[in-house]
Amino acid sequence: MLFVALGAGVGAGLVLNNALYRGSTGAAGEIGLFRNATGTAPELERRVAPAAVAEADAARAGTRVTGVEQVFERAAAGEPAAREAVSGMVAELSVAIANAILLCNPAMVVIGGGLGAAGEPLLAPLRERVTQLVPAMPKIEPSQLGAEAAVVGAVRWATEVAQQRLIDKLEGGLAHA
């Protein structure tokens, strides 16, 4: 499974055999740092983060929004400027997710984080675009944990680390006995 967190930034986690794959330096999943082909645009998370979507909407509509949720609500209602802002975000994000799918071949992609709560106004066009970019389409589903997924993951990771340290300590004590 590939988990893609969309919030203040963009990140991902690859779960292999029920364990998070961290990579050789612990930095696996930093898709927010993906660049475009020309290298002229900022990294992905600066192109698709809530602030970027709100700015794109403001540039098109000439108005300011208090949160990206409003942009998605207006896009779902058919407002052209908001739809264009969401479409631009989906175009950028779909290429990154498609590339991750091509590299990792997950059975499922879970979209979470604050923007993951946007639901079908984000997921439907994302699925449609990714389908055009990959030969074998995995399921793309919203996180059941919503915006709290990162917190739950952090607590689980901390628990695993604490358990392993306790096991190591106990095994070390037994070896000296």
- pLDDT at residue 68, rounded to an integer: 81
Instruction: Give tens-digit pLDDT for 96-144.
Output: 999 999 999 999 999 988 887 788 888 999 999 999 999 999 999 998 7
Q: In angstroms, rounded to a whole number, what is the distance separating the alpha carbons of residues 47 and 98? A: 16
Tokens 């602030």 appear where? 51
Residues of the chain with pLDDT under 70: 146-154, 157, 173-177
- pLDDT at residue 177, rounded to an integer: 54
CA distances from 151 to 5, 104, 154, 157 (A): 12, 24, 5, 10
- pLDDT at residue 133, rounded to an integer: 96
- pLDDT at residue 121, rounded to an integer: 83
This model's pTM is above 0.85 = no
CB neighbour burial string for 89-103, b if at least 16 within 10 angstroms, e if fewer: bbebbbbbbbebbee
Q: Helix (H, G, I), strand (E, B), or coil: what is residue 4?
A: strand
- pLDDT at residue 173, rounded to an integer: 67
**What does residue 11 show for φ and ψ, rounded to 5 degrees?**
-145, 175
How many whole angstroms from its chain centre is CA 109? 9
